[in-house]
Amino acid sequence: MAVKKVRAGLDSDKKEQITENNENEVKNEKLRCRSGYKMTELGEVPEEWEIRKFGDVLSFMKSGLSRNLKEEDVGIPCIRSNNMVNGKIDKADLKYWFLKDDKGANIDDYVLDDGDILVNFINSIAQIGKTCIYRNIGRKSIYTTNIFRIKVNTQLVDNKFFYYYTQTNKYNMDIGLITKPAVNQASFTSVDFKNIIIPIPSIKEQQKISLIISSVDEQIEISDNLIEKTKKLKKGLMQKLFTKGIGHSRFKNTEIGRIPEEWSSECSFINIKSGFGFKLNEYVENGIPLIRINNVMYGKITDEDLCFLPQTYLEEYKEFVLKKGDILVALNRPVTNNQLKIGKVVNEPAILYQRVGRLEMDLEKYNPNFYFQYLQSDYFINILTSSLVGSDQPYIKTSEFSKIYFPVPTFEEQQKISSILSSVDEQIDQYEAKKEKLQELKKGLMQKLLTGKIRVKVC
């Protein structure tokens, strides 16, 4: 009994010591806070800001309709997760449902209001938690079962302020903590979502913060419109230049349709050299970049998620070493979203991985830049798509590729056409570079304004 009393006393002393330590830590944190700030579970925030749970500031939250949607327009569009793109509704690839539900659901209960915030709560890990603000698409719309539709209590929180908070790193971390992974898709519950906490300034300060971030969004939208407009211009130029050329008046019928009389149509002059299947245990932390299929995008090679091989492989695998300007194409699933995964090597040296092909041709007769552009044309993509082998993972079979006919202008005209289209690409690159800077600016503003690290003046 005496031993138990001693242990109890020790345990009590420990608890008191821990409590005292915690109180000291809080005091120390308060001492470390800047004047006008306080320490909270979200870190340092302005003294007058509140910390609330999502559930405290939401007035409505409900998942959508679960139905086997139709491709044809049978009544009303249904917004799915793939229609939520960069915080907006993308009307491409809409699916539909009947105005009168065959299972008795009241469709009006699922009709979206302008300004509703949509949250993707069932999807892949990469897409889970993404949000967008619904804007009227010109007709009534409903939403599908893997999306939460939420409305905020506008007396407590500004709609855009809440939306912008769902774009922050802290929100993404919280979503990661509540997400339950599964084999095919991940998910989280409405209960867990409502327990996420958010810093809440006054309504006026929220509105001012939203206004500042929205102004950057407007600039990003202008950039998006310029990019889209210039891409349409390029499409029109490609259609004209690849069928009529420059300054021709007489044309002939060929395997690829009508082309200028001075041109020819040829096949089997582009060879595809596939890469090598290096093993994971050959990868190193730093070394020679290995260009894999995920690095080949639409019109460019990306250095995101690069893997590396030892320097010595430059000598050991000479035939797979890439140089600047080499044209690469994805061999498996080369066409997605009606675009070809093709790009030019920018940084050398690099090494070619399997399932990626390097295009090789006689450089004295065929201009690689001309064919780099031609391979991205709608006409060629349609031809290539029909020649792919396999259904689940369609791929380019070199024997089938060699049967495809290409237009062959004079070498001089190939250069002129590629130069015209390359100048348009440069303009698109400039717009995209400006957009990236604006996105970085927005990201920095959100990080500072939504946490109170930088304050805004409120009248």
Q: Residues 186-211: what's their mean pLDDT?
A: 96
11 has a pLDDT exceeding 80? no
**Dihedral (CA of 43, 44, 50, 54) sign:** negative
Co-location of 399 and 415 in the same domain: no
37 has a pLDDT exceeding 80? yes
What secondary structure letter does DSSP report for 438? H
Check residue 15 and give its pLDDT: 46
Co-location of 56 and 190 in the same domain: yes
Q: Residues 336-351: what's their mean pLDDT?
A: 92
**What are 214-258's pLDDT values in tens digits?**
999 999 999 999 999 999 999 999 999 999 999 999 999 999 999
Co-location of 296 and 238 in the same domain: no
Please check whether residue 36 lies inside any domain of the structure. no
Check residue 7 and give its pLDDT: 45
Q: Please state the pTM of the whole predicted model.
A: 0.79
**What are 159-174's pLDDT values in tens digits?**
999 999 999 999 999 9
Please check whether residue 110 lies inside any domain of the structure. yes
Check residue 20 and give its pLDDT: 55
Check residue 10 and give its pLDDT: 44
Is the CB of residue 367 less than 8 Å from the CB of residue 225? no
Please check whether residue 362 lies inside any domain of the structure. yes
Structural domain ending residue among the three candidates 183, 198, 213 = 198
**What are 74-91's pLDDT values in tens digits?**
999 999 998 998 888 998
Domain with residue 215: its CATH number is 1.10.287.1120
Domain with residue 188: its CATH number is 3.90.220.20
**Of 383, 199, 352, 342, whose CA–CA distance to 290 is shortest?**
352
Question: How, if at all, do strands 335-336 and 339-340 pair?
Answer: antiparallel
| Residue 138: count of CB within 10 angstroms of its CB | 7
Q: Residues 176-181: what's their mean pLDDT?
A: 93
Structural domain ending residue among the three candidates 169, 198, 227 = 198
Co-location of 156 and 71 in the same domain: yes
Co-location of 225 and 342 in the same domain: no
| Residue 228: count of CB within 10 angstroms of its CB | 12
Q: Residues 313-321: what's their mean pLDDT?
A: 95
The tally of domains found in the chain comes to 3
Annotate 96-133 with b (16+ C-beta within 10 A) or e (fewer).
bbeeebeeeeebeebebeeebbbbbbbbeeeebbbbbb
DSSP string, 342-371: EEE--SSSEEEBTTEEEEE--TTT--HHHH
Co-location of 364 and 434 in the same domain: no
Pairwise CA distance, residues 163 & 168, whole Å: 10
Co-location of 58 and 191 in the same domain: yes
Range of the domain at 350: 264-408
* 3-class secondary-structure state, position 407: strand
Is the CB of residue 321 less than 8 Å from the CB of residue 351? yes
Co-location of 349 and 450 in the same domain: no
Check residue 459 and give its pLDDT: 74
**Of 320, 296, 319, 329, whose CA–CA distance to 395 is shortest?**
329
Indicate the helix (H) or strand (E) that contains 41.
Answer: none
Check residue 392 and give its pLDDT: 81
